[in-house]
Copies of this chain bind each other. A is one copy, B any other.
Amino acid sequence: MANKDGFHVAVMGATGAVGQQIIKQLEKRNFPIRKLTLLSSARSAGKEIIFNNEIITVEEAVPESFEGVEIALFSAGGSISEKFAPEAVKRGAIVIDNTSAFRMHPEVPLVVPEVNSEALRGHNGIIANPNCSTIQMVAALEPIKVAFGLNKVVVSTYQAVSGAGSNAINELYEQTNAILNNEEVNPAVLPVSSLDKHYQIAFNAIPQIDKFTENGFTFEEMKMINETKKIMGMSELKVAATCVRLPVETGHSESVYIEIGTNDVSVEDIKNVLSNAPGVTLQDDPEAQVYPMPAMAVGKDDVFVGRIRKDLDETTGFHMWIVSDNLLKGAALNTIQIAESLIKLGLVSTK
């Protein structure tokens, strides 16, 4: 049911894995919507999507699609954002962009609402939603930083295929099925569909997410490094990342080593901080075999943290295991939470 005091919202990339989750989240969180415009490429236009018991037909995006739109949620790939986000802004919309197109632009806020919603005040029409693996890590690290300082982060990721889109999900299940039936596997999507070589993901682990940069790190790894510094407002923070794709459908996991800025901090101190942190659920009871796992995080809003241990050598060192649903907090949910923060801060209004 349309809310006449609500907003005119557009979803760009409405038929994709993240776009569909965005539409679900708008409905589930009862986001105030006067009108919902669903946009896609010509290929997917014409599809029908049910939203709040109404059928909405997906339209092919053109610049004029954004006339009258107040909030535009983009998740259709970087080049689409580069082309259409300025068109939406020109027509008075605030764009929340899920791609990496504008994330590192100095005038674009990069926001995880639990961490830096105040940064939204400086927006110039475009707000960037961070990379999925970055969001869940900073959600857990920010409260620790506030309480004890933070000097260094070394993260190794265990990332689900859904982060690479619907084709990667299909490939995982097709390959798995082929292997169980002793049939040949013909990789065509992962690790990067546009590159020459593709590798089996079923029953394997691929240490490449996105293309390689000149320093030997991948773009995914550099995103985690640069975005973490920007969101946490810590250009001096030491961050390193190794990003690995697993045969898991949904749910990113991260093994994170940190060095904090305070001595004499105990595991209990860290647990106390995290149990009071917004958007974070502590799951840490080794005795009872309680710790986060991707299969159990699917469909849940929170960032789950467990396996917290004090390093045996460094007095300021700690280890932890961070898991979240990469399509929710890692993408769609954080996008909607940014929009909700804009409303709460009075930064967006109906026309």
* Chain A interfacial positions (CB closer than 8 Å to B): 152, 154, 156, 158, 173, 176-177, 180, 191, 195-197, 199-200, 203-208, 212, 215-217, 225, 238-240, 242, 244, 246-249, 253, 255, 257, 267, 286-289, 291-295, 306-314, 317, 319, 321
Contact B203 A249 (CB under 8 A): yes
Q: Decide: A208 near B289, CB < 8 A? Known: A180-B173, A295-B203.
A: yes
Say whether B205 contacts A313, CB under 8 Å.
Answer: no
- Across-interface contacts of A199 in B (CB, < 8 A): 293, 295
Q: Which residues in B have their C-beta under 8 angstroms from that of A313?
A: 152, 238-240
Name 27 A/B residue pairs within 8 A (Cβ), A-sorted: A152-B313, A154-B257, A156-B242, A158-B158, A158-B244, A173-B180, A176-B176, A196-B289, A200-B295, A203-B295, A206-B293, A207-B255, A207-B291, A207-B293, A207-B306, A207-B307, A216-B307, A216-B310, A238-B314, A240-B319, A242-B257, A242-B319, A244-B253, A244-B255, A246-B246, A247-B247, A255-B255
**11 extra interface residue pairs, beta carbon distance < 8 Å, beyond A216-B308, A216-B309:** A156-B156, A176-B176, A176-B180, A208-B291, A215-B312, A216-B286, A240-B257, A242-B307, A246-B246, A246-B247, A257-B257
Task: Please name all residues of chain B whose beta carbon is closer than 8 Å to the beta carbon of A294 when the two chains form the complex.
Answer: 204-205
Best-buried of A287, A294, A309 by chain B (most CB within 10 Å): A309
**A interface secondary structure, majority:** mixed
Per the bound structure, the CA–CA distance linking A242 and B321 in Å amounts to 9
User: How many copies of this protein are present in the complex?
Assistant: 2
- For A310, the chain B residues whose CB sits under 8 A away are 215-216
Determine the distance from Cα of A225 to Cα of B67 in the docked complex, in whole angstroms. 61
Residues of chain B with a CB closer than 8 A to A239's CB: 312-313
Bound: A242/B256 CA distance, A: 9
* Cα-based distance from A195 to B215 in the complex (angstroms): 44
Is A289 a contact of B191 with CB atoms below 8 Å? Answer: yes
Instruction: Give the 3 A-B residue pairs with the shortest CB-CB distance, closest first.
Output: A156-B255, A156-B156, A204-B295
Contact B200 A253 (CB under 8 A): no
